[in-house]
Structure 1
């Protein structure tokens, strides 16, 4: 059966249900919004009572009757919450141990993948370390399983072998800092709200925010087919505009893949296509549309607001906010939309206008670049503290040109150079690419957060400049 063209197009441009919200200071003004649509008489009772939901470093007001559904959280390691799930987490820990014990590491004399199990008393739990896969050379997987009152928590990471000790220390730190919170609790200290818990920042976070990924959704009791979702994660440090909603949608409009898609595009009803900003953050773009009826798919609303964000700024990350109607069994258009066009826009405007940075009592972190700049050509070796925010270049042998330059912030540790090695037969069969690190000397070639010099070709896959956030490690 042929896939409906509208549904396919929406998947290309809008289906990534992510979001974010942000302002540059901790007490922002209201979002600058288009002309807000007035609530209809049918909607007014739903918004008479609202509740504030804290997520990540932000908060949003939704109807008091709305149900909250949390997705994944990386802060910066993956944290999964199992409400009242202590026994379930214990079972998952034993399953993970058994799986590691029952598989052999062919590159390590066929020993079991399991490397260690460390019991913890505070909080109660255990940390399990093993090789990432049976053909792994340097990759590990480390999972922490914990009991926090009545809830079970799993913290997972995928570091390199050299980062084993530091990763275990990070898992212990996160587990010890996590504290339970009620849904309506809004903490006043710096940190991240996740499902049922709050994770206060550590002193290291205040100096070098590692980047967080938070996702959640809302189901409206009065209109159960209307789903609102938010996801935030760090802005692309190499090319923020590559995630621009306006740019991506324009590509779909300019170059539809098939004649059917071209016809489908002509049927879309547009309500709003315009920039959207909050305070002094001007990287947002809003696209509000309604897809027409197609064979097997009802007409439904698909609204999205996306911010490309500001690199290295935890209060202005990449964000994607979405509202869809006609949702059933997690598929938009599976049922008839219960909201009219006017009502869908009013709900959208009402909720998005309340997204804001969570106020805290902490003083905002000052720029790491305060003071005179070091001259271009300054040298810094792997392991040294970075003396100047900017673009740094290394000349380690055997590296591709697009991996020689990285953006590194003052105060971070100067990283190893990361290179791709020749894959083994098993890695070729599994489509994997080995990664190796080497110590090197870095040279400062550009200051601040400006784009790199025109001659550079930075690959987004290089990930964070800090070894702790290397792309091989989750989070």
Structure 2
């Protein structure tokens, strides 16, 4: 059995097992996320993602409404994984409890399910965490970006934590409590089983395996003790880890002889390279009852020593100071009030409309990391309200949903000087016929146009002239593109206070993003859609 061996990566460890061994890696968990992986075609994956999204949306939220799905965002990682992240099924517990001072106080606990379905190299990977604290929601996209598909379970060449068909790149912390189990069988000796367990960041057992076994033996009757023969019982160091080893021969009640081997490292709570480790092997395992061992005592000890002595760390060098980037948040991402803003940009409020305004505007600029606000809604003033100079307001009972419609690292600022305005075309039919982005697909991002020509497509156009104040502006399809605007240095036209502060000259414009009038995110644009008063984008 041991003439030919193969190496298996289990967590951060390598272990050699007989080549014929059938291995299963189960119960993978990192940072509380249950991680499951399996082979699946891309078509099957896409269908399953769509079904899962529909299933989540179909369930009522905790208030009985239709907002069970709070966020659905697409994700794509640098390792080639793609898929979706769902934030859903919020749970709220509130009530009163004693405060220890003879009084009572109200409490409110909120949790939410974070779930990711990603795919790459023919492998689908599902991650989930139910009732997770709201402040940890963004841990999921960070974890997804550390995943690497490994369909053949090859031994990775970079530090990380191995699971079935996938591994997690470092860095990982001890408090993320990575864990994995390996189960193995030998087809030529079906009564032999072995199990390897690795769990980091857990509190060490107060007693080792030898002390616990001695306490268990004391609870046995004399007849039961007579059926157990100690083969080994002593400390044993393997792969630089100090543990304890217990080997026993057990005669069962049906007189079947079997072996039990156990090696355990108590581990540490703050070091991922010294985790809690358990390796066990047993013989004489039958379907419903013990069977005689297929190995003699010497052969069983030889197999145990061969496998157990091969246990070693795959790598002891963590990736220091490496920052894991969270995948870019795509346009169309939803976030609800109380969540951390996942991306700086303009967010469209899901409340309001039909005569009800939103304090601060229907579109508002949010910075990444800020708490998404609950919208303050402004109904129409009654005549009595107008006479008293009052504006009524209220908040929805449901959490406000916000949709990302335009993003950048900095807020769009007004230009320091007035910009040249686009000119309506000679005939209004071209500009007013409502051509959308889908009908402008023949115009490619990166296309150029110059001052005075009709704008080929509605969208964001960047002025290509150096030192121009225009930056990037939105123009509707068909308007005549304006000249570029430049600031004039003081004194150029003399010291007169009436001297012009800017000049305009012919410029070149480049399309950077298609966006029709209803989808563009510039709150300063006039309703005409001509792009007047368009503010330049100040991007880092």
1:425 alignment partner in structure 2: none
* Match among 116, 120, 130 for residue 75 of structure 2: 120
* Match among 192, 209, 227 for residue 193 of structure 2: 227
2:264 alignment partner in structure 1: 306
With 54-63 and 125-134 compared, the bigger mean Cα shift is at 125-134
Distance (Å, rounded) in 2 between the aligned partners of 1:154 and 1:363: 26
- Counterpart secondary structure, 2:37: strand
1:286 alignment partner in structure 2: 245
Distance (Å, rounded) in 2 between the aligned partners of 1:170 and 1:181: 21
Return closer, same or farther for 1:179/1:130 CA change in 2, 3 Å cut-off.
Answer: same
* Match among 323, 326, 332 for residue 284 of structure 2: 326
1:47 alignment partner in structure 2: 2
Distance (Å, rounded) in 2 between the aligned partners of 1:298 and 1:134: 55
Which one has a bigger Cα radius of gyration? 2
Distance (Å, rounded) in 2 between the aligned partners of 1:134 and 1:294: 53
2:237 alignment partner in structure 1: 277
- Counterpart secondary structure, 2:267: coil
Measured after TM superposition, the shift of residue 316 of structure 1 is 1.0
Distance (Å, rounded) in 1 between the aligned partners of 2:92 and 2:54: 14
1:196 alignment partner in structure 2: 165
Return closer, same or farther for 1:190/1:117 CA change in 2, 3 Å cut-off.
Answer: same
2:379 alignment partner in structure 1: none
8 Å CA contact retained: 2:250, 2:257: yes
Measured after TM superposition, the shift of residue 321 of structure 1 is 0.6
Measured after TM superposition, the shift of residue 303 of structure 1 is 1.4
Return closer, same or farther for 1:328/1:99 CA change in 2, 3 Å cut-off.
Answer: farther
Distance (Å, rounded) in 2 between the aligned partners of 1:224 and 1:351: 17
Measured after TM superposition, the shift of residue 266 of structure 1 is 3.3
1:369-422 residue CA offsets vs partner (Å, 9 max, x unmatched): xxxxxxxxxxxxxxxxxxxxxxxxxxxxxxxxxxxxxxxxxxxxxxxxxxxxxx
- Counterpart secondary structure, 2:305: helix
Distance (Å, rounded) in 2 between the aligned partners of 1:243 and 1:97: 47
Q: Does residue 1:146 correspond to 2:102, yes or no?
A: no
- Counterpart secondary structure, 2:191: coil
Return closer, same or farther for 1:255/1:53 CA change in 2, 3 Å cut-off.
Answer: same
8 Å CA contact retained: 1:89, 1:153: no
Q: Does residue 1:216 correspond to 2:172, yes or no?
A: no
Measured after TM superposition, the shift of residue 80 of structure 1 is 1.0
- Counterpart secondary structure, 1:241: coil
Distance (Å, rounded) in 2 between the aligned partners of 1:96 and 1:110: 19
- Counterpart secondary structure, 2:300: helix
Distance (Å, rounded) in 2 between the aligned partners of 1:285 and 1:89: 45
1:264 alignment partner in structure 2: 224
Distance (Å, rounded) in 1 between the aligned partners of 2:45 and 2:225: 47
The RMSD of aligned alpha carbons is 3.2
TM-score by length of 2: 0.50
With 305-314 and 75-84 compared, the bigger mean Cα shift is at 75-84
Distance (Å, rounded) in 2 between the aligned partners of 1:286 and 1:92: 46
Give ranges in structure 2 of 5+ residues lacking alignment: 95-108, 322-540
TM-score by length of 1: 0.56
- Counterpart secondary structure, 2:224: helix
Return closer, same or farther for 1:317/1:85 CA change in 2, 3 Å cut-off.
Answer: farther
Give ranges in structure 1 of 5+ residues lacking alignment: 1-45, 367-475
1:405-456 residue CA offsets vs partner (Å, 9 max, x unmatched): xxxxxxxxxxxxxxxxxxxxxxxxxxxxxxxxxxxxxxxxxxxxxxxxxxxx
Q: 1:143-182 alignment to 2 at 5 Å?
A: 143-158=115-130, 160-174=132-146, 177-180=147-150, 182=152
Measured after TM superposition, the shift of residue 231 of structure 1 is 0.8
1:75 alignment partner in structure 2: 30
Distance (Å, rounded) in 1 between the aligned partners of 2:190 and 2:181: 19
Return closer, same or farther for 1:287/1:143 CA change in 2, 3 Å cut-off.
Answer: same
2:534 alignment partner in structure 1: none
More strand by share: 2
- Counterpart secondary structure, 1:118: strand
